[in-house]
Chain A
């Protein structure tokens, strides 16, 4: 299955009746996400990232404009409900998205909601627990898990529903470096398996792991570029209150000084080793 998401001139207001122009959370966004893309959405606090995420999977209804999935307008409750299966969402706080008192039951929660047969659940659950690295913890109570493990449990719960698209709304921001690393690796793995990954973050370093970056500011799309293009002039990120990763800044400056480094740097370690060999 493939899911192509298209937002057509989407506007969103939390309290549309009050109509104050300032308070539009999303203002005329046009975006298309193809199946299998790895996209980061970055923006400062209050830029509308979470609102956009909720619009994409039908948690919120656009005040104006359309959500179109594979050419079909999503208009009614049933349509939005079906979307929940195709587009999974992982939130920021690992604690507040685990429903059930045990790991196993929590993974089952989404499947129960979809009305999946029990035999099918028994096949899917061990598989996703394996995938996120929680095998053996089936009987554990969620409050005995680490933050990173809880977040992986949340991912397992979503993956069991077999979505085409996964949205991560700052899902790494409350984790320690180890937990964060785990989740980022998992995103990569899922991307390679063909899922669309939409990673919302205000960490530029994490955003640059994606192939495409969308910059959001005050509810508008400021920039929508592939990694290479933005990498080459990342300084502009500061316009919207975002940091430029130090490694990128350094890399760019060294290139400008005429250092003979490769133009694509994946991470800090690679940069360090390139500088090392150059010197």
Chain B
């Protein structure tokens, strides 16, 4: 149990951990656009250099990044193959009766794989160095202006925070119910997919019922603690930008300039 780490926050005290979550979130957001500006070897090298530097700064083990790449490996491979086969241009490197791989295809394939890789690594860096609670806070503040167009920002943030609070509890409960059903001879992992789904019904029904009861009791407890929506509420958790966060802007501008200058 508890091996599921939501947001996969890896506690630490690196410079990246110390940054304000809003700054990190904004940086990663704009960085994603920057990735699409890269279009030649030099620009990709700059991006790689940058990513490797911050991976080192984060003091997070490399194996963790590899683990986060694994789920998207299939998509990366797929697009790489697609580009290899479909892109024409340059010298023909490899000729078969079915398809020909051109120099340009190889180049594009490497670029597209790099793009994916950098995207995934940056997103992982964000979640590795930022607790879910901090991320929730950052989102709530950054989305604040959307309140004007009636997006229930406070409610969404509270929902996220309650979800963070209850996922481990519900997970424990699921395990308990599963064990109880297993003890009664339930067979959960054999038979075809349909049989298995049916086998899971006795687990989901009690789980649903108890979740509804939980939700009802929680709502009551919240009301008893004077909750009445976001109006007039103060916040205990406070985020504060420091000079390090402003430094991120400088870094970003430098990246934009360098990539803008190197790209073709």
- Which residues of A pack against B, CB within 8 Å? 54, 57, 59, 81, 84-85, 88-89, 91, 93, 95-102, 104-105, 108-118, 121, 125, 141-143, 154, 157-158, 161
CB-based closest 4 A-B pairs? A108-B236, A97-B221, A110-B225, A96-B217
Complex contact A113–B225 (CB within 8 A): yes
Given A99-B222, A113-B228: A105 in contact with B234 (beta carbons within 8 A): no
Q: Complex formed: what's the CA distance from A102 to B164 in Å? A: 10
In terms of DSSP, what is the predominant structure of the interface of chain B?
Answer: helix
Q: B211 CB to closest chain A CB, in angstroms?
A: 10
Map CB proximity to A onto B187-221 as digits: 1 under 8 Å, 0 otherwise.
00000000000000000000000000110011011
Q: Complex formed: what's the CA distance from A57 to B214 in Å? A: 21
Which residue of the partner chain, among A85, A97, A101, A114, contacts B161 with CB atoms under 8 Å? Answer: A101
Complex contact B234–A115 (CB within 8 A): yes
Number of interface residues of B (CB under 8 A): 29
Q: A149 CB to closest chain B CB, in angstroms?
A: 14
Which residue of the partner chain, among A91, A104, A118, A143, contacts B234 with CB atoms under 8 Å? Answer: A118
Complex contact B169–A143 (CB within 8 A): yes
Which residue of the partner chain, among B133, B168, B227, B235, contacts A143 with CB atoms under 8 Å? Answer: B168
Q: Indicate if B250 sits at the interface (CB-CB under 8 A).
A: no
- Which residues of B pack against A, CB within 8 Å? 132-133, 161-162, 164-165, 168-169, 172, 213-214, 217-218, 220-228, 232-238
Question: Looking across the interface, which residue of chain A has its beta carbon closest to that of B229?
Answer: A113
Write out the residue numbers on chain B whose beta carbons fall within 8 Å of the beta carbon of A91. Answer: 217, 220-221, 224
Which residue of the partner chain, among A93, A101, A141, A157, contacts B225 with CB atoms under 8 Å? Answer: A157
Complex contact B165–A57 (CB within 8 A): no
User: Could you pull out 19 A-B pairs where Cβ atoms are within 8 angstroms?
Assistant: A81-B228, A84-B223, A88-B224, A89-B224, A91-B224, A96-B217, A96-B218, A99-B162, A101-B132, A105-B133, A105-B161, A110-B225, A110-B226, A113-B227, A115-B233, A141-B168, A142-B169, A143-B168, A154-B221
Given A98-B165, A109-B225: A93 in contact with B217 (beta carbons within 8 A): yes
Complex contact A111–B236 (CB within 8 A): yes
